[in-house]
A and B are shown apart, each in its own frame.
Chain A
């Protein structure tokens, strides 16, 4: 993952876009699933209540278009859903399983970590479940409370064999979901549910993919590198604007893929800026930010002008009424930016 030199573009949207359509993230996911079902005969889409559109309406009208054999409801049994999906994918088929909330993924933890991730390795390459993609809405939503707001990505980033992806907007959601479904490895695709309806963009109507394992420099800057993924990238963009008003130039990096992750882009940036902040919603201890911070420390130690900071969720269960204090919002992030610049 710390691989060959790549020329990085600021944006990975297809260059010769013919037509676009206004879509929110939910519609973009729906569009990616529609393209998959249309182009890949073996693909099936299933999960709790997906047949009538799912709790977030991401699978709306797919059943009407592709039939009950390809888009269907499952019982409320996550371990069974994922096990079933793994078996189907092991037959060289494409399985797109939905776990209704990322918070419900834990009953399937064993199936994901022990079955999906290790099938290729333990069979010496004979079998794999590359056709498996698990979609799960994650993150804060303003009122979700303990069991409808968590960001469990770090648990899965500890598992070689999996890929973990999180988009930050509708354009990335469509392209990255298509990449994830077609990627010959099992992928967990976390969808920040706060963005489902709150972010709208002109999304290309064509079929396109966005490379996994490649971070994106969303905003170039020279003083501080801000690193995040998913909805937090938007918070970091706002942070960068606040900082800019005070004359501090922030570079914002969207990791896009958390496993494997693009350390090269991050290291390159921090060597230039000498300062770094990693930010995520999940609790700070053992969050994926720890991995990023450790890598920066290892590779940029002599370029660093200040300690690497992590601005994250607190080490508490995800709170209900105290969500606004828990979240690493732009004020907490910008405070850290000024701390670092003053250091």
Chain B
């Protein structure tokens, strides 16, 4: 009984036990070629079919964006090692397919909020490498005027609600974003991202509970990159099936190392969220770098493990292979694109080293809507105006 009520309440279409084999779809449709994907793992819903149709221009575009992300993160790594970037910095290399596959489905009208590993989401929300690296080096030309740094990048125009330095804190915010969409009767969804480490935060459960009772158009996207900081999900989480973690929200796990799988999964998920409410997505992915720059990333996992994933599941190589298999590109074509992007990123990195620092008075700007005199600052911003000491 409860299960029926649950299914009625969630608008769930059917249980995952539906094992009926669907016929293999045609090889070509509308000039696009079929690619086989790793099957999806659904929970409390039907699964999308494990196929995607794509063509040369799409794959080349995905390749370009993912390679740009990869180069940007490598540039950030170098800038950090050269002490141009200070403080905290979390790199996304290895997980590019998640950002790009999601972006292929979402529009800028779908609000997105994520955690601290956010440089690539910023890129996919209409920013460029130059502004992002300049933010990392704390320059006024950066996306947040140099005031945010690595974890705090935003794009108001394109509904990117940013990176967030506090583990899990962005998830209930996502529920609020979704509520606003529902309140304004918009046919869009909110997407709130977090990692497998943050999945253990209590506020994720709070937010999911609210989203389900209010049937909000939201996707809770867990990027399971296998490690929450330096602790493997195996040690930190009582279950490895993040997408099944809450038994009252349907889930969908997908290959987060394959841009086409992410794209197809997200197409399905977006439609589901608009029509039926929240969905818990698990992206099965992997980060190559350590958690942050202070983590070499090899004390809690072996170099072999990282190299194996790089060899067998790298998201960029995956697209490259498909392009070459289909004779849509040659290895030389792709090399040429890589070279072109490398130059673009190198120029951006050079700019980020020499761009102007934010004016010193921005220290006390953007605290309140008004520009109050801020107490305690050494600069004469009005602290002592109005009365004098005796």
Contact = CB atoms under 8 A, between A and B. Distances in A.
Contacts of A303: 390
Nearest to A2: B386
Contact of A4 (B146, B369, B385, B390): B385
A264 interface: yes
Residue among A44, A75, A79, A268 with the most chain B CB within 10 A? A79
B126 interface: no
B176 A161 contact: no
B175 A87 contact: yes
Contacts of A91: 111, 176-177, 180
Contacts of B311: none
A240 to B, nearest CB: 24
B171 interface: yes
A80 B210 contact: yes
Given A2-B375, A110-B166, A88 B387 contact: no
Interface in B86-115: 111, 113
Most interface-central of A4, A114, A115, A298 (chain B CB within 10 A): A115
Interface in B128-158: 143-148, 152, 154-156
Contact of B161 (A93, A127, A267): A127
A95 B183 CA distance: 12
Nearest to A260: B372
A86 interface: yes
Contact of B373 (A3, A127, A185, A299): A3
A185 B368 contact: yes
A256 interface: no
Nearest to B177: A87
Interface stretch (A117-125, A139-147, A194-202, A243-251): A117-125
Contacts of A298: 389
A298 B148 CA distance: 34
B366 to A, nearest CB: 4
Contacts of B360: none
A160 B179 contact: no
A300 interface: yes
Contact of A127 (B145, B156, B176, B370): B156
A2 B376 CA distance: 11
Contact of B172 (A83, A114, A185, A302): A83
Nearest to B202: A79
B382 interface: yes
Nearest to A42: B183
Interface in A85-139: 85-91, 93, 95, 110-111, 114-115, 120-128, 130
Q: Pick from A74, A83, A128 the residue with the most CB of B within 10 Å.
A: A83
A121 B179 contact: no
Given A93-B180, A122-B147, A300-B390, A2 B172 contact: no
Interface in A1-29: 1-5
Contacts of A120: 366-369
A57 interface: no
Nearest to B167: A110
Contacts of A264: 386-387
Contacts of A128: 369
Nearest to B159: A91
Nearest to B142: A124
B173 interface: yes
Contact of B144 (A42, A124, A268, A300): A124
B365 interface: yes
Chain B CB within 10 Å — which of A88, A89, A163 has the most? A88
A77 interface: yes
A83 B386 contact: no
A302 B390 CA distance: 6
Given A79-B206, A91-B176, 20 more contacts: A2-B385, A69-B183, A74-B210, A80-B203, A83-B169, A87-B178, A90-B177, A91-B111, A110-B166, A122-B148, A122-B165, A123-B148, A123-B156, A124-B146, A124-B154, A126-B144, A127-B162, A160-B367, A260-B372, A298-B389
5 contacts: A75-B209, A79-B202, A87-B176, A111-B203, A123-B156
Interface of B: 111, 113, 143-148, 152, 154-156, 161-162, 164-166, 169, 171-180, 183, 190, 202-203, 206-207, 209-210, 213, 365-370, 372-375, 382-387, 389-390
Interface of A: 1-5, 42, 44, 69, 74-75, 77, 79-80, 82-91, 93, 95, 110-111, 114-115, 120-128, 130, 160-161, 163, 183-185, 260, 264, 267-268, 271, 298-303
